[in-house]
Each structure stands twice: as C-alpha cells, then as structure tokens.
C-alpha cells in the first residue's frame, strides 16, 4: 500500500491466531534480525503453550536484535529501539511504520513522523528508557 509520506511504509493488519503467521507478519517491519532468531521464535512457539500475539512476537524480535545490555546502549541506540517498538504497535494497528536500522541515523528514522507519531515515539522512548534503567 502506498503511503502519503515518502519513506513511510503503511502496513495493513492481517488477523491471525497462529504464531507462525504472526512471525511472518511481524517481518514486514524492516528489522535486522537473523534467520536463527526467526527460527527460535517459531520453535519456541511449538514447545510452549504460550500463544504469542503479533505484538508480542514483534517485541521479542526487537529484544533479540539487541547486541548489548541496556547499560551499554548509547542514547541513540536506545532511541532506535524505541522507534522499532513503536513500529511494532503501529503495524498491529495498521498505521505507518518508520524503517530504522543500525546503519541509519536517528534523524533518518524519525524524519517522516507527523506530530502525533512523534509524541507517541517519545512516550515509547521514555518507557524503553525506564525499563532499561530499572533492570
């Protein structure tokens, strides 16, 4: 689906009750995860009674993508985690997402956000920071 803003992807929610489908849908967000991370999530779903929602799977992917502990993250890296966590929520709600990779600057990740999305990003960023610093 085309987006009204350049550089912004707009994904529609596809209802799903199966974890493998949720993993596949969550992959629409451009993460830097490895195939082994994807396999881990699918295998974990097979051996547990836990039914992860699409949002849960997406959050797990963000966490699995961390290469360091919260204490060792720079402010920019933590802010990019927040962008990706916001993308998780956005894809579930059928809202625009904002690609954000380690190779991009934070400004590149957030430049196409409208004021409401920018405010939501800051709320998620503050929560991510609070979780990191509490651990």
Please say if the pLDDT value at position 8 is more than 70.
Answer: no
Q: Indicate whether 106 belongs to any domain.
A: yes
Hey, what are 13's tokens? 């929610």
* Per-residue model confidence as pLDDT tens digits over 20-74: 333 334 445 555 555 666 676 677 667 776 677 888 888 878 887 777 888 888 9
When comparing pLDDT for 102 and 14, which is higher?
102
Give the domain extent around 72: 9-134
The whole-number pLDDT of residue 17 equals 36
Instruction: Decide if 3 is inside a domain.
Output: no
As for how many domains the chain has, the answer is 1
Whether residue 129 is contained in a domain is answered as yes
Q: Is it the case that residue 80 has pLDDT exceeding 90? A: yes
pLDDT of residue 87: 94
Instruction: Indicate the pTM of the whole model.
Output: 0.66
* Residue at 1 is within a domain: no
* 3-class secondary structure, 6: coil
- d(CA 91, CA 70) in angstroms, rounded, equals 25
Please tell me the distance from the alpha carbon of residue 52 to that of residue 77, in angstroms, as a whole number: 26
Give the whole-angstrom CA distance, residue 79 versus residue 124: 9
Classify residue 42: in a domain, yes or no: yes
At a CB cut-off of 8 Å and minimum separation 6, what does 66 contact? 73, 81
Q: Is 86 a member of any domain?
A: yes
Distance CA 97, CA 36 (A): 24
Query: Whose CA is closest to 110, among 131, 88, 79, 134?
Result: 79
The predicted-structure confidence for 103-133, as pLDDT tens digits, reads as follows 999 999 999 999 999 999 999 999 988 888 8
Report yes or no on 2 lying in a domain.
no
């Amino acid at each position: 689906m085309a987006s009204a803003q350049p550089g912004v992807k707009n994904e529609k929610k596809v209802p799903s009750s199966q974890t493998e489908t949720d993993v596949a849908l969550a992959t629409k967000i451009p993460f830097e995860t490895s195939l082994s991370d994807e396999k881990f999530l699918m295998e974990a779903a097979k051996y547990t009674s836990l039914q992860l929602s699409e949002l849960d799977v997406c959050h797990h992917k963000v966490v699995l993508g961390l290469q360091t502990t919260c204490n060792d993250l720079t402010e920019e890296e933590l802010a990019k985690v927040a962008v990706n966590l916001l993308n998780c929520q956005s894809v579930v709600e059928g809202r625009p997402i904002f690609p954000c990779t380690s190779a991009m600057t934070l400004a590149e990740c957030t430049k196409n956000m409208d004021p409401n999305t920018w405010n939501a990003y800051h709320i998620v960023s503050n929560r991510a920071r609070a979780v990191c610093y509490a651990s």
